[in-house]
A and B are shown apart, each in its own frame.
Chain A
Amino acid sequence: MKDGRPSVLGFLSCLLFLGALCFYSARFGSAAVDTIPEIRAKGRSAIGQEVALTSDVKVVRLLDNGFIARQGGAQMEVTISDEVESQWNAAKHGLAVGDFVSLRAVCKQTGLLEAREFHVHKGRRLKIWVSIAALLAAAAILFVQFRKGKYA
């Protein structure tokens, strides 16, 4: 490798190592509380297990003691356990169809969960739009800076 040139070998070695880490993570990655797809991927049944629903869980219908949630293509009924009843009573008036929530729940049967912990992510949609705007602003700042030759 000549001096003064990019190191393709260095670049590829780092990417190769990184690829190996990603593969290791995908193969053996394990959280304290699994999601339903992760439990199924391990060949176990989710019924009776504590599960986590933390990404893109949307409320699609409100019920007296819970709600219907959708994550990806799956829809499930979420009931409220005694442990979180007071939290539910405080939160349910502000809860609306379309809100995003996070849950830790026990899977009672397929499509039926009993919430043990939950959080309503009010403002999540705003956060997504604001983040896109920030990304565009960052791209504009970087474009100007690189054009000025502030390179390294």
Chain B
Amino acid sequence: MPDLVTHVIAGYGLQRGFRLTPWFLIGAILPDILTRPFTIVWPGSFWWTMPLHTPVGLTLFCAAIAFLHRPGIRASVFLNLGAGAFLHVVLDLFQAHLAGSYYLFFPFSWHSVEIDLIWPETSLYLLPLWAVIGLWLAVKHFRQRMKAEG
């Protein structure tokens, strides 16, 4: 994965830009939340949690969460969460690994795919850019709030 800052900023930026719901931001970090804690604590659990970082597994997980909501908002929860997770998977694809990348076609194939453009830690060089964008969003948010209150 690129660092979570990249996922959070991309998720939050698109959520605000397209007026999506908070479920989109949750989706944007969901695949790593479901898998990384397990593989960090117990690296041998990789194959157990791997489906939760694939399109089919994530679709099922997003559907499970959507079913916990009333029918009126179920589709919205599913689409926002699923679109966020899709964004996460797309961003992850740009990375390079020496072995074992992303099993996009699971459970139909064990072929792993990635674009091999940057090493997982390279996205850290974008941190100053993310910090500036984060600051700009925060200033914009507070200005809007002050306008609404005043």
Q: A: which residues have CB within 8 A of B?
A: 3-11, 14-15, 17-18, 21-22, 24-26, 28-33, 37, 52, 54-56, 71-72, 102-104, 117-119, 121-124, 126-127, 130-135, 137-138, 141-142, 145-146, 150-152
Contacts and interface: CB of A to CB of B under 8 A. Distances in A.
Contacts of B70: 4-6
Interface in B60-99: 60-61, 63-64, 67-74, 76-77, 80, 97-99
Given A22-B51, A130-B4, 12 more contacts: A7-B67, A11-B68, A18-B52, A21-B56, A29-B47, A37-B44, A54-B100, A117-B98, A124-B121, A138-B29, A142-B22, A152-B80
A-B interface, 3 closest residue pairs, ranked by CB to CB distance from nearest = A29-B47, A52-B99, A10-B67
Contacts of B69: 6, 152
A102 to B, nearest CB: 4
A18 B119 contact: no
Interface of B: 3-5, 7-8, 11-12, 21-23, 25-26, 29, 33, 39-40, 43-44, 46-52, 56-57, 60-61, 63-64, 67-74, 76-77, 80, 97-100, 106-107, 110, 112, 119-121, 124, 127
Contacts of B40: 56
A127 B26 CA distance: 20
A25 B47 contact: yes
Given A55-B46, A104-B99, A117-B98, A21 B107 contact: yes
A150 B23 CA distance: 10
A18 B141 CA distance: 39
Contacts of B124: 123, 126-127, 130
A86 B35 CA distance: 36
B99 A141 contact: no
B112 A31 contact: yes
A126 B123 CA distance: 11
Given A31-B112, A130-B127, A134-B7, A152 B63 contact: no
A150 B127 CA distance: 28
Contacts of B64: 10-11, 14-15, 18
B26 A142 contact: yes
B55 to A, nearest CB: 12
15 contacts: A5-B70, A15-B64, A18-B52, A21-B51, A22-B49, A52-B98, A55-B39, A121-B119, A124-B120, A124-B121, A138-B12, A146-B22, A150-B21, A152-B77, A152-B80
A25 B25 contact: no
Give the one of B21, B67, B110 with max A CB within 10 A: B67
Contact of A14 (B44, B61, B97): B61
A117 B98 CA distance: 7
B118 to A, nearest CB: 12
